[in-house]
Structure 1
Amino acid sequence: MNQCNHAPDTRRQRPARGVSGQRIHHDSAEKHVTGQAAYTDDIPELANTLFAAVGQSQEAHALISTMDLSPVRAAAGVVAVVTLDDIPGEQDIGPVFPGDPLFADGTVEYVGQPLFAVAATSVEAARKATRLARVDYAPLPAVLTIPQAIAQEHFVRPSHSLSMGDAEQAIASAPHQLSGELYLKGQEHVYLEGQISYAIPTEDRGMRMTLSSQHPGEIQHTVARLLDIPFNQVEVEVRRIGGGFGGKETQSAAWACMAALLAHKLQRPVKLRLPRRDDMVMTGKRHDFLSRYRVGFDDQGRVLGCQFWLAGKCGYSPDLSDAVIDRAMFQVENAYCLNAVHVTGLRCKTHTVSNTAFRGFGAPQGTAIVEYMLDDIARKLRRDPLDIRQINLFKDGDQTHYGQTVEHILLPALIRELETTSDYRARREAISQFNSTHHYRKRGLALTPVKFGVSFTIQFLNQAGALVHLFTDGSIHLNHGGIEMGQGLMTKVAQVVATEFQVDLDRIQISAANTHKVPNASATAASSGADLNGKAAQDACQTLKHRLVEFAAKHYEADSDSIRFVSNHVQLHKDNREVWIPFETLVKEAYLNRVSLSATGFYQTPKIHYDREKGRGRPFFYFAQGAACSEVEIDTLTGEYTVLRTDILHDVGTSLNPAIDIGQIEGGFIQGMGWVTTEELSWDDKGHILSDNLATYKIPTATDIPKIFNIKLYDQPNGEETIYHSKAVGEPPLLLALSVWLALRDAVASIANYRINPPLNIPATPERVLDAVLYLQQWTDRHDG
């Protein structure tokens, strides 16, 4: 008869450390601050490694008359030069639609477009050599702005519309009508680690790649097609990346392909690392938007019908712009039931770098126009903007303009709580008093919500895989398809594994995402990393637990229904006695009895479906919700301002890790605040980007953080069956920064005693705030004599 281990174990006296819901620090936190965290450029280079650089177009739109690369080839240290003609397979690397040749094909369509790549014995030699190319151009007319693209009907994809009800009739018959226009500039990703790829040829003419990418699976497929080899001959590994924010979802592919092409040609390792300035010139940004609205509303401020017109600046190729504009079109309602709606989205082609995914993926631009509109309604009716927002909030059972029924809506209660905890009404009175007694300083206040749909809007992307191994000492190996880019995904998924087995987190080894371990993984994007990979890991763990329970029941002659995993042990009942077996003992016994200790897991998001042609369906599994209240003070003589206080109440469901979630809310909000206030992309009239370094592009610093910054998690489990009823947290908080922009607008509006709102485009730089102040002062002079 098998004997159970009855030896005392102090670990029974405490719960497992690091399970879901506990505040555990990021798995690489200490490595980050001590410099021990290894990134692609930290990997020791193999012997014979070469270094690559990229030759760029100097014209926005032109025919290449001649391109003489002989001086490049003859330069010191240069080993090889490749162009489009050297590609053995597919030349176009467009992620969804064609239009992205790896190198220009006779015509250049933006300043910075790659013409060729160089491999040399040093980084310096490669970069110097690129400047020796002799290229003659025959310039062509360049379309550089959204208005130019619209006037010339210059689009990367056809326009698209969504409708609910008869918006035109609803607006026409409403007691009040308004219209407005808003221009929102884009945003540079400014990830800490720039674009980088290291390609190592393998003995079977394949390729092993380490790089900084949010989508290893797409890199694998794109490189394989480029080299005309099977997918299984390309292995891509990513342990961590130094920030992505969407900029490494599709746009890491070009640099991976160039490194792989050179490595394949030379059968030597090749590393390509873009300098910061080249990175800012050659990679896409958040899309600029030109947005307009028309709205009809009643005397209380309830929206009866509205029309939105959204035009996105896509750049020279489609990239992900179709989906980005679609997402903006979904998000124009934000948190509000707008009754009758018509939305049109235009995909404008310009001769600038192709814009791409950025945290929020079009949702911030869509949200901005509806919040702008509600502010205008409030001023028209001389009401507090918060009252107008509250009267229009969604309720359970309402329908979105794309046909999804809204469920598990938290916003009415959440906003009421934030209204109370932020002292909104008392502060509104205090601000009015302050503004009436201060001529050169004005304060503003805004409380804005967010309702953010979570899922990839392309259905097949909503899947994930995981791989879990148990070792005979009780340690656990975890691998999944998600990418760690600083957001704490690895820690959260490891906590899921710790929770399933009820073991300490330090038993679990997190390994790099690898296309040969978990194949066909979706990008780590759309705030779905923990949702998808957490569920996949849970599935793998449950398979292993089932095997262990079956084995334990037989091996220890115990009732399988009594077997539980708890406190680093397996607890069971035998002969009416409670027996505790150390986790590692059970695993070792299972191994000795030939039980498989490795399992894959898989998850596909349920319930979602969407028919784009009909504009109807359920593109989102659930909605993350939240609200922020921000107060600002402006100087009416200079336009300079300070964010005095921000209070955030945000819904993350049942938090997997409150410390990481709060960190994500902080970071998302500040990044969003940068977009709406200081970060300004600028081009000259020839298509050259002027904001191509961190001296000419201002991101938020420690001094820009609100003086008082309060963040609280809204304690409400997700109504849907997500991993432990948690919710995504990566993107939604960024949209809460719109409260800062609207607080600035509120401060300026006080100059006219809140009778009108000033025009205030994004980013609301001090110069734009000053322009808005002057606009209100002139308006007041005209109307008050």
Structure 2
Amino acid sequence: MEETVGGETRIQDRGVAETVDPAALKGKRPRHEKRIRGGVSAELRHDSAEKHVTGAARYTDDEPELPGTLQVYLAMSTKAHARLVDLDLDKVRDAPGVVAVLAAADIPGKNDYSPVFGDDPIFADGVVQYVGQPLFVVAAETLDAAREAAKLVRVEYADLPAAITIEEAIAHADEAGRDLMDPYEMRLGDADGALAGAPHRIAGQIEIGGQDHFYLEGQIAVAIPGEDGDMLVRSSTQHPSEVQHNVAKALGLADNQVTVEMRRMGGGFGGKESQPALFASVCALVAQATGRPAKCRLDRDDDMEMTGKRHEALVDYAFGTDAEGRILGADIRHFIRCGYSCDLSGAIADRAMFHADNAYDLRAARIRSRRLKTHTVSNTAFRGFGGPQGMLGTERAMDRIAFELGLDPLDVRKRNFYPAEGGGVTPYGMEVTDSVIAEIVEELEESSDYRRRREAVREFNAGNPILKKGLALTPVKFGISFTTTHLNQAGALVHVYKDGSVMLNHGGTEMGQGLFTKVAQVVAEEFRIDVDNVKITATTTGKVPNTSATAASSGSDLNGMAALLAARAIKERLVAYASERYGVPAAEIEFLPNRVRIGRVEKRFEDLVGEAYLARVPLSSTGFYATPDITYDRPSASGRPFYYFAYGAACSEVVIDTLTGENRVLRVDILHDVGRSLNPAIDRGQIEGGFVQGMGWLTTEELWWDRAGRLRTHAPSTYKIPTANDRPDDFRLALWAKGENRSETVYRSKAVGEPPFMLAISVFSALTDAVCAAGDGKRFPDLDAPATPERVLAAVEHVRGEA
């Protein structure tokens, strides 16, 4: 029960009162003597966990096909950059089983599925810009028939110069006088002066590879034509509203004629943010042209060749320090490989810059970024959204500073943390007021036994000429919010039925991360009912419009708060009804576990709801939430783009074989701040999964294009994600017990989707440490990411002077 007395708010339950600040009310859960089943902070399993392991979970491909559904196959370019001289489709159209063949000229609306810049054609028109670019679509009675028919095409190309690598992209851009997108710069203080006056100057470079999303469920879409030209699309997408908009644009329809539904994805990781619009648009074009449902399901090879990856990057750095490793000035340059089109590269490259400071108070810094065009698939969103690349470059510099000055890397890092008391300012002008990184690292240093293990690693290395160990402890500070400010909004729809059951719908999407479960817990907590009574329903643009992508780690923050506000609106109506009906002041009406106390009388929740229904009280409400207090002025590169920061730290121990370059992660200790966790079980799973995925990015997942621009790592046989055997046998994970978000988020929780990914940088730093030991600490390793066995072996030979 809430009661305002003298400007304070008291939350009462069975005579127990807790005084809280009214402004914090939305973000703080009262301490109740009795708990509901599955409210906020309960360790519930993912709502689809049993369905996942039993195979009962229904994905887009599992929905029964309607009679007459056509199977769609996309034919792809075999050239990286060429003019389309001729595209003869006559024999394709005449092939057995073919119902429709569509190319650029057959699109009634706009030939574009891009998220922002209008430079992603659905079908190539006049020119191709990467191997794998769609040329046309074949719709047939069977997928095999469509595939076979596509082979009958006659294509004539005229080759054009192609840039495949970052180096080639730089050369082509310098010759042309422009990059794919304008360069960008952030400044803080006088970096040149600080570097010139620093007692020590450390400079270097690191190449950072890309990463394929390798979601278990590939790209898939189904389009079903309806009355009056309407179109229903089922798409495996993180961004239903964007798919809706792009499908409508391609078909020449208004958005209200297209509905997009999505219950769950089998993984997304950013790869289903902008990319699904292509496949949904293709299906919808076929459905509109034929009047029949159409389905497009990519196999793994086509998926990997056709869809964007994590951006590759080249980072040049120069740091000026004092003798103790304190940073006096920094000059950092990012070269970002965007691919053939802009996609989301602008925002991704910006975020790499936003996170180039990581947890360090740089004081004087200049960060510059170039966004380069290559004739390869357009790179796109991936967990961390550029942040990992920005952080890795700076963490590489921290290791090099420690090496050059003969210091322990952890000591160098600790001396440069943002101060806990505030006052530190980022290179984009935002004051860091919530820094807890020093405290987290101090706790992890002790709990991981870092200092003793550092000595043990030295002893091991002194006695082992072949195997060498490495140890590293690295921090993470990650900004939470979309840096494109208008995306920080969400809507939700809550229905309470007359039997007391609740239906929940919101704009977030479920890709295995547990978002639906967390938001259901928030609604259950607000009504004080068991979570079993809250029905989770599929995301649909027909219920909640104009949604943002489930991305930027903001799913729970945005949708959780929107759902809470919707539930609260209904709850307030129930209180008003009960107060009037029973003549009891609102202050004496209290929601208890599965019941409501009205003065001296208690009723079951469902009984009060039933009465309210008969009294014509509206039991449905929308909720809308927009993140407050964020703004960013891009021209001046200044503002507050993030609502708050998430923090964490990881300590990793590795061993390498200096004869082969093979390596293993032996032990990992993680301490991560999730604020007041909405669901600790799901949060721990996200942290562990994010770390292992980050470990894969930095050790095994290598993308390789040949000179002709063909992706050669396009299947599990050639592209190696981490397996269960790569997970360290000794994996110690803890949520920071003191965690509490200082910003007013839903129940003072913190985002957890992306920040843990960058904890894996500790593995790369530990590998650097082990390679250093292989050369007796005489040379700093020339090691790029991913640190595959080949690269580790080359780095060992380098530090030993053998290469």
Normalising by the smaller structure, the TM-score range is: over 0.9
Residue 245 of structure 2 corresponds to: 221
Q: Secondary structure at the match of 1:768?
A: helix
Q: CA RMSD in A?
A: 1.1
Q: Which letter does structure 1 place at the counterpart of 2:572?
A: H
1:535-574 mapped onto 2 (5 Å cutoff): 535-573=561-599
SS at match of 2:773: helix
1:133 maps to which residue?
153
Note if 1:53 corresponds to 2:79: no
Q: 1:152 aligns with which of 153, 156, 172?
A: 172
Matched, 1:376 2:361: no
The answer to whether residue 708 in structure 2 is matched with residue 686 in structure 1 is yes
Aligned-pair distance for 1:755? 4.2
Residue 751 of structure 1: CA displacement?
A: 2.7
Provide the rounded CA distance (Å) in 1 between the counterparts of 2:513 and 2:147. 33
Letter in 2 for 1:455: S
Matched, 1:460 2:486: yes
Q: Which amino acid aligns with 1:643?
A: V
**What letter corresponds to residue 767 of structure 2 in structure 1?**
L
Offset of 1:285 from its aligned partner?
0.2
Shift, 1:244, TM fit: 0.4
Q: In the aligned structure 2, how far is the partner of 1:499 from the partner of 1:31?
A: 25
Is residue 607 of structure 1 aligned with residue 635 of structure 2?
no
What is the DSSP-based 3-state SS (H/G/I as helix, E as strand, rest coil) of the residue aligned with 1:99? coil
* Mapped partners of 1:124, 1:425: distance in 2: 61
Matched letter for residue 177 of structure 1: R
Letter in structure 1 aligned against 2:735: L
Q: CA deviation at 1:155?
A: 2.1
Partner of 2:118: 98
- For 1:593-604, list aligned pairs within 5 A: 593-604=615-626
Give the secondary-structure state (helix, strand or coil) at the position aligned to 2:215: coil
Q: Aligned equivalents of 2:635 and 2:516: distance in 1?
A: 37
1:412-561 to structure 2, matched below 5 A, reads 412-561=438-587
Match of 1:408 among 417, 428, 434: 434
CA distance in 2, matches of 1:747, 1:566: 57
Report whether the alignment pairs 1:658 with 2:686: no
Q: Does the aligned pair in 1 maintain the 2:112–2:246 contact within 8 Å?
A: no
Aligned to 1:296: 320
Asked if structure 2 preserves the Cα contact closer than 8 Å seen for 1:469 and 1:476, the reply is: yes
Matched, 1:64 2:90: no
> Which residue number in structure 2 is paired with residue 739 of structure 1?
762
- Equivalent residue of 1:204, what SS? helix
Q: Is the 8 A contact 1:289 1:310 kept in 2?
A: yes
Three-state SS of the structure 2 residue aligned to 1:161 is: strand
Q: Secondary structure at the match of 2:535?
A: strand
2:199 to 152, 170, 175: 175
Distance in 2 (CA, whole Å) between partners of 1:364 and 1:291 is 12
Q: In structure 1, what is the Cα distance between the partners aligned to 2:147 and 2:584?
A: 69
Which residue does 1:762 correspond to in 2? 785
Answer yes or no: is the 8 Å Cα contact 2:191–2:331 preserved in 1.
yes
Deviation, 1:13, is 9.7
Asked if the contact 1:242–1:486 (Cα under 8 Å) also holds between the matched residues in 2, the reply is yes
Are the aligned partners of 2:358 and 2:391 in contact in 1 as well (CA < 8 Å)? yes
Unpaired runs of 5+ in structure 1?
A: 1-11
C-alpha distance in structure 2 between counterparts of 1:127 and 1:666, whole Å: 40
Normalised by the length of structure 1, the TM-score is 0.97
Matched residues in 1 for 2:288 and 2:218: separation?
23
Contact 2:698 2:761 in 1 (8 A): yes
The SS at the match of 2:801 is: helix
Corresponding residue for residue 668 of structure 1: 690
Letter in 2 for 1:507: N
Say whether the 8 Å CA contact 2:74–2:137 is kept in structure 1.
yes
* Structure 2 residue matching 1:486: 3-state secondary structure: coil
How many corresponding residue pairs? 765
Once residues 782 and 576 of structure 2 are traced to their aligned partners in structure 1, the CA distance between those partners, rounded to angstroms, is: 68
Name which of 113, 126, 129 aligns with 2:133: 113
Question: 1:338-371: CA deviations, max 9, x gaps?
Answer: 1111011111000000000000000000000110
1:277 is paired with a residue whose SS is: helix
Conserved 8 A contact 2:778-2:799: no
Is this contact kept in 2: 1:376–1:756, CA < 8 A? no
SS of 1:401's partner is coil
1:643/1:13 Cα in 2 relative to 1: closer, same or farther (>3 Å)?
A: closer
CA contact (8 A) 1:463 1:603 kept: yes
Q: Distance in 1 between matches of 2:554 and 2:149?
A: 42
Q: Distance in 2 between matches of 1:516 and 1:336?
A: 45
Distance between the aligned counterparts of 1:441 and 1:410, measured in 2?
36
The answer to whether 1:124 aligns with 2:148 is no
Deviation at 1:598, TM superposition (A): 0.2
Cα displacement string for residues 579-612 of structure 1 (whole angstroms, at most 9, x for unaligned residues): 2110000000000000000000000000000000
Identify unmatched segments of 5+ residues in structure 2.
1-31
Is residue 94 of structure 2 the alignment partner of residue 74 of structure 1?
Answer: yes
| Partner of residue 264 from structure 1, selected from 269, 277, 288 | 288
Q: Deviation at 1:131? A: 1.7
AA at the equivalent of 1:241: M
Deviation of 1:558 (Å)? 1.3
Match of 2:669 in 1: 647
The structural deviation recorded for 1:14 is 5.0
The residue identity in structure 2 corresponding to 1:409 is: S
SS of equivalent to 1:254: helix
Is residue 44 from structure 1 mapped to residue 57 from structure 2 by the alignment? no
Q: Give the partner amino acid of 2:489.
A: Q
- Separation (CA, whole Å) in 1 of partners of 2:660 and 2:775: 18
8 A contact 1:333–1:367 mirrored in 2: yes
**Separation (CA, whole Å) in 2 of partners of 1:345 and 1:413:** 32
Distance 1:754 1:727 in 2: 40
CA contact (8 A) 1:380 1:756 kept: no
TM-score normalised over the length of structure 2 = 0.94
Give the percent of matched residue pairs that are identical in Structure 1 and Structure 2: 56
Deviations 1:20-48 (A, max 9, x none): 00100000000111111101111111111
CA distance in 2, matches of 1:253, 1:347: 23
2:383 matched residue in structure 1: 359
| 2: CA distance, partners of 1:116 / 1:391 | 57
Distance in 2 of aligned mates of 1:130 and 1:392: 59
Structure 1 residue aligned with 2:795 = 772
Work out the CA distance in 2 between the residues paired with 1:129 and 1:310. 44
Work out whether residues 379 and 755 of structure 1, in 8 Å CA contact, stay in contact via their aligned partners in 2.
no
- Once the 2 structures are TM-superposed, how far is the Cα of residue 752 of structure 1 from its aligned partner? 3.4
